[in-house]
Structure 1
Amino acid sequence: MAQSQEETVGESPEKAFGPEYRFQALFDQTPTSIQLLDASGRTIQVNKAWEALWEIPNRPGLKEFVLGTEYNVLTDPQLRANGITPCLERAFAGESVKLPAIYYNPVEMGEFGRPRWVTAVAHPLKDSRGRVQEVILMHEDITEQVESQRMLRASEERFRSLVMATSIMVWTTTAEGLAIEDSPSWRAFTGQSAEQWLNSGWLDAVHPDDRAHAAKVFRESIGNRTVYETEYRLRRADGRYCWTSAKAVPVLNADGSVKEWIGANTDISPRKQQEEALRESEARFRTITDAMPQMVWSTRGDGYHEYYNQRWYDFTGVPVGSTDGEDWENVVHPEDQDATWQVWEHSLKTGEPYEVRYRLRHRSGQYRWALGRALPVRDEAGKIIRWMGTCTDIHDQKLAEDALREADRLKDEFLAMLAHELRNPLAPISAAAELMEMAQLDPAHIRRTSQVINRQVRHMTSLVDDLLDVSRVTRGLVNIERKPLDLKLVVSGATEQVMPLVTAKGHQLSVDLPDKPVHVLGDQKRLVQVLTNLLNNAAKYTPANGMLHLGMTLSEGRISLHVRDNGIGITPDLQSRIFELFTQAQRSPDRAQGGLGIGLALVKSLVELHGGDVRCSSAGLGKGSEFIVTLPSAASEWEAAEEHRDFPPDLSARRLRILIVDDNADAAAMLSMYLKASGHEVQVEHVSGKALERARSEHFDVCVLDIGLPEIDGYALAQLLKAEEGTSGARLIAITGYGQEQDRQKALLAGFDHHLVKPVDTATLARVLAGFA
């Protein structure tokens, strides 16, 4: 068997073409590399395919070396290093063994030839008793296969890397939607094996919540032969779910039927994360804006309104979305639309902050004042991409501002009117004083001049008293008496005071009262003041020869006094605030009637102090007016308090020594003249120090002190006089321009016996002095 082919030459034909010859021919011509080994591991024969495999022509001496006695496959260091020897030993032990592939590189061994991958099968040849006689090694060059596999793996790895980098999975299915071809990109992304991916196994990688929808949409696309497009979450190889966008198009046959589907999945997780972040941000924004007290809105860079918070819709009551674009103007008051739009257009053109006040229609139908503001939002390049704005309900604030401005205006008018009213009596007083300085007047002229001065002083005193009254009453500093009295006496006192004015203007005053007494609990003086004010107003604001009426009605424990005239009337807007301070002056276009116009505010306060109320009504200008005062009735068994009248006492009872201290020389001189004319002995000092010196040397019964003295004021002077021996028992009278209750209390605490307010009423002073006599 080891005999070479050359040894057969010259032999007989039978022998040449016998079994051995045929075996040798088959051995040499087989395309498989064969190496025959003896039982010890030495090579005894190789075929031509083996020589071709190992490139024997290019490697001189290799064949001889392998076939020689020095080479043994069981001791080959290269085979041992590659783990082949143990496999060969199993073959020599009687087992057919497939040897592992090895990479053979002759260049590394200093030989010629090309590197290659080789694998082999070792098959033992046994005798009849089962003993291994020889081993056949059959080699196979698998270099191309290995290279193809390597290139395939490299290509697949590159594709997998590309897919992982681009997050795109490409796949195909049959016309019915079944995956029958492998998709390395899908498997690389999902981690599924080829077996897991096939048919409908791809759905197992889809999120359980999205699986049914993804399959349903694909079935619909297959049935309709339309593009398949949807989004679902896909499980990655690391176990996380990522959002993907799936799209597939049908590939059609010539007859229009679907041949297959080619699709791709794209990882859209970053986009979904951005969308989710945007939704969360928008949700936070809406939560914050809905919690704000303002109405919040936003527009595009061109001014198109596209967002309002819930408070906008709650305020306006309009349907959601109905004010988008430019329709917001529909809820702006028609009178404010043009101005509001001009300001908004200016901001859009210039980028300046937007701010404007306008009236918005409330869901109740009322228009309420609002403050609109907006600021531009710019991108990195400075371009305006959005406007963010608010509307704030400032209706109450606006009305308060308007009321404050109106109050300021009325106050200014009142001050101007007050100056006018105070100047009026000063003119005749000044003229009378100048007249009395002229040539000696006869007693008749002196009496008339004195009457003018007295009358004008009383008028000025009345003005000042009205001012003080309204101040004290509106601040709650007045305590009224609550005595049972007949309201008919109040009417009598008021009509008596107003009759001179009624007569002077030629009016007719009719009075309609019940026959029996009408009792109330109240302050007679203050109630007379209330009714006098109303009757005076009726007389003043009614043209000459008018008709005035005063009536009284009783109903369910309430008594109402009605004062009605046919005068100039009251406008509707003035009726709602006619009892406010500084408002009444508007009743007349001029000030011909005189007065400060604060009487109605005083009337309202005094009536309310009595537990009653006052109201007015008028049909309008030129149609007269009516004022109604309603008071609670007193119990019928109470008798009206008896009217008491005070008369000046007899001043001649006792002559008093009086010290007057006042830094106003004119006021001191006039008071001194009056007291001397009343029969008293009077001394005058203008400085506190001089007054003290005189008090040490002279005895006085009464000291009349001004409070506002320089150096030592009236309070301190009173205490010093009390300490002087000559005046320690003297009675002290304070005369001051301050007439509040706290001023009176302060004077009494300083030691004064009486507190009189300038200008001093002479009758009151006479009664005080009479009490000292």
Structure 2
Amino acid sequence: MRNTPPTNSDFGPTVLSLSVPGAAPPRRRVLGWLALFAAVSGVLLATALWLLRGEAVRWGEQITTALARVITEQTVRSIQAVDQRLQSAEHRLHDAAEEGRLEGSGGDTLLRTELKDLPYVRALWVTDAEGSVIHHSEGASGKPTGRDREYFLAPRAASGLPTAYVSATIRSRATGRLQMTVSRALRDEAGRFQGVIVAAIEPTYFQSVWSGLDVGSGGVVSLLHRNGQLLMRSPPDESMLGRDFSHAPLFTEWLPAAPEGLFHRPSPIDDTDRLVAYRTAPAYPQLVVMVGSSYANLLAPWRRFAVLTGGIWLLSVLAATALALQLQRQAARRHHLEQRFGELAQAMPQIVFITNSDGVVEFVNQCWSDVTGRETEEACGVRWPQLVHPEDAVRAEAEMAFGLASGEPVQAEVRLRYGDGTDHWQLVRARPNRNSAGEIVSWYGTSTDIHELKMAQEQLQGQADMMRLAGQLARLGSWELDPGSGRIFLSDIAAAMLDLPPGASLTLSEVNGFIHPAGRANAQRAFQRCMEEGEPFDMEGRVRTATGREAWIRSIGQPVRDATGRVVRLQGAQQDVTQRVRMLAEIRELNATLEERITQRTRELQRQEALFRTLAEQAPLPIWTVDPRGRAMFFSPAWYELVGGEPPRWTGWEWREVLHPDDLPVVSANWARCRDDGSVFQGTRRIRARDGTFHTTSYRATPVRGEDGRIAFWVGIDADITDLMANEAALRLANEQLRSFSYSVSHDLQSPLQRIGSFAQLLERELGPLPSGSKAEHFLQRIQANAEEMVQLVQGLLSLAEVSQAEVVRGRVDLSAIATEILEGLQAGSPGRQLRWRVEPGLVVLGDVRLMRSVMENLLGNAWKFTACRERPEIVVGGSVARGEFYVRDNGAGFEMEHADKLFGTFQRLHRQDEFPGTGIGLATVARAIQRQGGAVRGEGEPGRGATFRFTMPVPAAAASVPA
């Protein structure tokens, strides 16, 4: 591939923005092409304008013809309305004549009524066969004769059926004003002429209506009689009305040829060149409507467009000529610049390259070969990232891709392999070259050797990083004072010491503001001497930072001199010594108060020890201390009174000798556990007293911890509970005997009560039917009821005794299943009772199945009983297994909460026996069963709103993990 300086012939539109290759074309050729362009475009423009002119004329003809048609129809409708009114007046006059109502002014009045709603009709009148006016809307008296008028003569001469006749414009003899008449002949039944009925029309009416039509400037609307007389005209010209135009071409040429048509010629009235459309009225052939549009006005838009288009065409030709000449000059100048650029590119000490729009190298100067030792042809035809070091190629490709996509200049630092085998860093820059449309056609770039600069920067950066690390480690920052500006420039670490942002700079007055007032004068003097005399300084002082924080700073400064020895700036370092200053202050304070604190602490310990010994000696219970290993260190006098001996006996491991042999393993295991986890050491044990008997004691010891949190020793106490244990055993025995007695009594009472009931029934049968209401009947009923009540009471006592004495066998109990079974049984026993009940599924407890069935039977039995009076009774069994809480709720009679403490007592009732029968033992049985299984029960209620009984029970571990 060639590698010569870029020229138009080398790169054409790819490298340069001009898209015409080769040398600049001759001026004569350019002018020839321009002349050809002007001629062709001029002919095309003239042809288009001529076609548009014809289109404008055709459009004007259509508009004018349409206007003539509309005006003709409007005029005919107006005259027809007058004709209809004449016919109406004729019939009314005929009827009035037969009725004899035309005497006097009756006919005049009738004609006046016919003028209503016809504003363009001036008057109505009737003549006799001689032309004399016999009736007139304005009064017939004194009206001149009309026997010589066209409106009289024409209808009289007409034969056949009477028709309306429109006469030429005449001037009224009565008013002297111009008018157009419409008349009809009046004939008798034999067809003999009797006169005419006439209507006078105001010409100005039609002129005012036509003036609202847009016929353009110079346009005219006319109504002419077939005899050539001008009847009406808009715009109005009274001097022209009535003139004879029968000699005009309209009457000599066009009307004889066709009843309607279109022609173009100057007007015989005002010589205006018009496009004229004429039309004969279909119903009134003696009338001709003519509409004329000014030809000049019709073609005015086209002329304006033609002038504007011609001007634009002329300007375009002139602009194209100027642009072509300018482009020719620019091409010549650019050709010269490209030659100069090639010479400059070869003379530059940098690598200069040019790529196409895709980044493919098309030119590289001789410096490439001098540096790399490779031919320039090797660099051309490839993308320039492929020429750099392989490790930098991916990054260079990404930079170039970004530039190609965004059109922004590209800059990258890459390594290039030199001819001697070494890799040198190059700074590659490339800028896009755009054409006149803004499209990138090529890239111009340079590659500069920055290897030495790069190495120096890396060395300086390494040194700066080391200095920064050292400064961060020692919290050491640097500063520099510029005497010219009076500002002190701080390093990032120095700025951070004063809570300032990185790169901050301060004036001397701002620095003085940070220094504590006590040290401000010394700092100012040190800076002044360093500036004026070159004396270094090393000082330490207190400052207040930008955030208000108080700190201590040590600052070292020294002058920097020029070649003449003059101080040109100050530089130094500063270190945050706040922590060291505070530590020294704390050490001094600690040393000053340490002896006093030791003495005070010793006195406090002695006082506490004396207090402890006094308490231990006076305490009636044995108090002792042991070390973390379990070795006894101290026993109070009460210990020796219990077991005998005197101090220091029983210390160390000797105290184990007084423990009961059966309790020693349990106590030792308990001690090992509490020693390891630091919990309270407590339990019961038997100790041998001095008389040889064993006393049961309740012991409890608490660890005492040191400042480091570790256990220093244990302090414990033994309480003699021998008598308490004996009393509890006696109480248990008494309760057991009481329960046995209650069960025995209840069991023994069942047989006598059953016999009483049986004998009462036998006596009732023996006596036979008794009189209703007799005392015998009453006594027998009372005996049977009381016996039944006593049986229920005894059964309740037996159930309570059984619950109290039964052995508790714990297991998984399904309360949902038990409750469902009980409620279904109650419902089956009373099928006619309507009850709505609901049992939540999955209610399980850890308890005795017999006791829990007794609990649910009593609670659900009460709910069944106390909802009997409700129209819509409801019972709900639910709870939360996770919390171990359950309930039975009903909407029955309820109770007052102030009596809630009596609910679970034996024989306690809150309702009368006649309201709700019962024994008062059921809830006592519930409470005893729940308590024996480790639970609790309570009741909630409101009179008339129902009651809820809630109880707690242990639950299985798996069920407790289920969310509530």
The alignment's TM-score, normalised by the length of structure 1, stands at 0.29
Structure with higher Rg: it is 2
